[in-house]
Structure 1
Amino acid sequence: MENLTPEDKLEASKFFYRTGDLDRAEFLLKSSLEDTESHETYFFLGLIENQRNNWQKGLYYFYRSVEVNSEYGNPCNEIGILLLRMGRERESVFWLKKSLRCTLNDAPHISLFNLATLYKIWNRPERSLQYLHKAIVMKPDFEEAKRLREELNSAI
């Protein structure tokens, strides 16, 4: 194990995360942090805690990820989702929009969808539809966004 680089540990932890072995993924991620801080390492630790329904701990790791790399949009989106679940909607909007401004974001269409969902909750279908349109343009096969768009259009 001591022969593995932090990058090797991170890649192995991603594999274990994807296969559902959260304990092994967490071990490798924390072991990697002993060598070097990485925004991705904190992000995946946050995902693990989120899957375990440890939202406060998940938030901690997502915030740490943003501290290490303020241009990483993935944890910003996750922070927005968690804050929304906690009923902190206004804060959620800030983080979801921040996610869209970040230069490193694997799935900006997800942030747009989450904003659309939030505006639906606030009974602002026109704003929700704007975000859904952007998400679908970005990812034309985004079925969940298409379903929400149909739902909103039929309600108007």
Structure 2
Amino acid sequence: MENLTPEDKLEAAKFFYKAGDIDRSEFLLKSFLEHKEDHEAYFFLGLIENQRTNWQRGLYYFYRSVEINSEYGNPCNEIGILLLRMGRERESVYWLKKSLRCTLNDAPHISLFNLATLYKIWNRPERSLQYLHKAIVIKPDFEEAKRLREELNTGI
């Protein structure tokens, strides 16, 4: 692995993460970061820590990712989710909405779904349905969003 370029290490780290080998992924990400600061590398480290339920450490990596690239929406969404888990709902809304404003966001429908879930918790079904509609427009086969929409529609 010493012969790999830093970019090869990042790609290999993402491959191993997606394959479920988070230890190897973490090693490659940290090795990559010795050569170059990168928003995506910190994002994946945050995902790894999140999987390990090290939420504070995960938050650190997600915040670091956003510091490097403030237009990267994926870590903003993850920050929002973690803050929600920690009972910090108001802060969560800020980060989920920030995720939607970012120009680089692989899954805006997830941020919309998370906002819909938060508004459901706050007993604001009309607002929740607005976010679900937007999520389903982006991803028509988003079954979890369709189920939540149906649940909200039957409760109204």
Q: Give runs of ≥4 in structure 1 deviating > 2 Å.
A: none
User: Distance in 1 between the 2:114 and 2:6 partners?
Assistant: 32
Q: Which amino acid letter does the alignment assign opposite residue 16 of structure 2?
A: F
Q: Deviations over 1:56-108 (max 9, x none)?
A: 00000000000000000000000000000000000000000000000000000
TM-score (norm 2): 0.99
Deviation at 1:2, TM superposition (A): 2.7
Aligned counterparts, 1:1-156, within 5 A = 1-156=1-156
Deviation at 1:35, TM superposition (A): 0.4
Deviation at 1:4, TM superposition (A): 1.2
SS of 2:34's equivalent in the other structure is helix
User: Distance in 2 between the 1:2 and 1:34 partners?
Assistant: 13
- Which ranges in structure 2 are unaligned for 5 or more consecutive residues? none
SS of 1:71's equivalent in the other structure is coil
Identity percentage of aligned residues: 89
- Which ranges in structure 1 are unaligned for 5 or more consecutive residues? none
How many residue pairs end up in the alignment? 156
User: Distance in 2 between the 1:154 and 1:6 partners?
Assistant: 52
What is the Cα-based RMSD across aligned positions, in Å?
0.5
TM-score (norm 1): 0.99
